[in-house]
C-alpha cells in the first residue's frame, strides 16, 4: 500500500519512509509548504490544515504536526516549535533552560489523515529531557538537545525511530491502514 505524506520537512519524511518500510507501507513524499492555522492545540491545527489541503489534493494523504513541549517553560515552544527552531534554535532553548533544574520535555506528533472523505487523527508522544549541551549529528530539528535514556535523539540514529513520537503516531496510522486492507 502507498500513502502520500505532505510536508516541507525532509527529516520528517525520511523517518516516515523508514518506519513505513517496517509496516509494508510505501510513503510517498509530496513536498509542500502549507499554511497552518494558528492555535494552541496541535490536534486542532493538524485537523484544520488537512481539511484545507483536502480541497486541493483530491487523493488520500496525511500531514503531521509536531512539537517540543517543556513543562518548566509552560509548554513552550509547543505549537510554535517550527518558528522557534528557525529563529532561536537549539542554542536559544539551551539559554532559556539555563539554571532550570526541571529539564523534563516531551515531543508530541499528531497525524491528520484524509481518507478521501474524512480527516482522522493519530497521536504519539515521547518523554525525555533537555540536555545541557548540543550532542550528536544525526536527525534534525531539536534532536541534538532532546535526551532519551541518556542519549540525545541526534546520537541515536535509526534507534530514534523505535521510540519517537513520530513512530508512535505512524504506528497507529499504519496499523489502521493495514486493517482496512483486509
Ligand atoms: P511541515 O509543517 O511542512 O510538515 P515543519 O518543519 O514546519 O514541517 P511542524 O510545523 O510540525 O513541521 O514543526 C515541528 C518542528 O518541531 C520542526 O520544525 C522541528 O524543528 C521540531 N520537531 C518535530 N519533530 C521533531 C523530531 O523528531 N526531532 C527534532 N525536532 C522535531
| DSSP string for 116-139 | SS-EEEEEEEEEEEE-SS---SSS
Contact 126, 106 (CB under 8 A): yes
Shortest-distance atom of ligand 1 to CA 15: 27
Please work out whether the CB of residue 90 comes within 6 Å of at least one atom of ligand 1: no
The catalytic residues are: 65
> What is the distance between the alpha carbons of residues 143 and 151, in angstroms, rounded to a whole number?
10
Number of domains the chain contains: 1
Round to whole Å and give the CA distance between 35 and 12.
17
Nearest CA to ligand 1 atom 8: 9
Distance, CA 11 to ligand 1 centroid (Å)? Answer: 8
Atom of ligand 1 nearest to the CA of 33: 3
Query: What is the pLDDT, as a whole number, of residue 36?
Result: 86
Domain residues for the domain of 60 are 2-180
Q: What is the pLDDT of residue 182?
A: 53
Q: What percent of the chain has pLDDT over 70?
A: 99
140 lines ligand 1 (CB under 6 A): yes
pLDDT band at 91 (very low <50, low <70, confident <90, very high): very high
Cα 1 to averaged position of ligand 1 atoms, centre (Å) = 25
**Distance (Å, whole) CA 14 – CA 162:** 14
pLDDT single digits (tens) 38-58 = 888 999 999 999 999 999 998
Cite the beta strand spans of the chain per DSSP E: 2-7, 26-31, 61-69, 104-114, 119-130, 146-148, 151-152
* Residue 68: strand pairing partners: 107
Q: Closest ligand 1 atom to the C-alpha of 66? A: 11
d(CA 22, CA 99): 41
CA pair distance 123, 150, nearest whole angstrom: 24
Which of the listed residues 81, 138, 164 should we mutate to test ligand 1's pocket, taking the one with most ligand atoms within 8 A of CB? 81
Residue nearest (by alpha carbon) to ligand 1 atom 28: 143
pLDDT at 177: 94
What's the gap in Å between 55 CA and the centre of ligand 1? Answer: 23
pTM: 0.96
pLDDT tens digits along 117-169: 999 999 999 999 999 999 999 999 999 999 999 999 999 999 999 999 999 99
Task: Tell me the CATH number at 34.
Answer: 3.90.950.10
Percentage of residues in the chain with pLDDT exceeding 90? 92
pLDDT at 181 over 90: no
Amino acid at each position: 500500500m502507498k500513502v502520500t505524506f505532505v510536508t516541507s520537512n525532509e527529516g520528517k519524511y525520511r523517518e516516515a519512509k523508514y518506519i513505513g518500510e517496517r509496516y509494508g507501507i510505501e510513503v510517498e513524499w509530496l513536498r509542500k509548504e502549507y499554511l497552518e492555522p494558528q492555535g494552541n492545540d496541535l490536534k486542532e491545527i493538524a485537523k484544520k490544515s488537512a481539511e484545507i489541503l483536502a480541497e486541493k489534493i483530491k487523493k488520500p494523504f496525511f500531514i503531521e504536526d509536531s512539537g517540543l513541549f517543556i513543562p518548566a517553560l509552560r509548554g513552550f515552544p509547543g505549537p510554535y516549535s517550527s518558528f522557534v527552531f528557525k529563529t532561536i534554535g537549539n542554542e536559544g532553548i539551551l539559554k532559556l533552560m539555563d539554571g532550570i533544574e526541571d529539564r523534563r520535555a516531551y515531543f508530541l506528533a499528531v497525524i491528520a489523515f484524509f481518507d478521501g472523505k474524512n480527516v482522522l487523527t493519530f497521536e504519539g508522544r515521547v518523554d525525555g529531557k533537555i540536555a545541557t549541551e548540543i550532542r550528536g549529528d544525526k536527525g534534525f530539528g531539536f534532536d541534538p538537545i532532546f535526551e532519551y535514556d541518556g542519549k540525545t535523539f541526534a546520537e541515536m540514529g535509526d534507534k530514534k525511530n523505535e521510540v519517537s513520537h513520530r513512530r508512535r503516531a505512524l504506528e497507529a496510522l499504519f496499523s489502521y491502514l493495514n486493517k482496512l486492507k483486509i
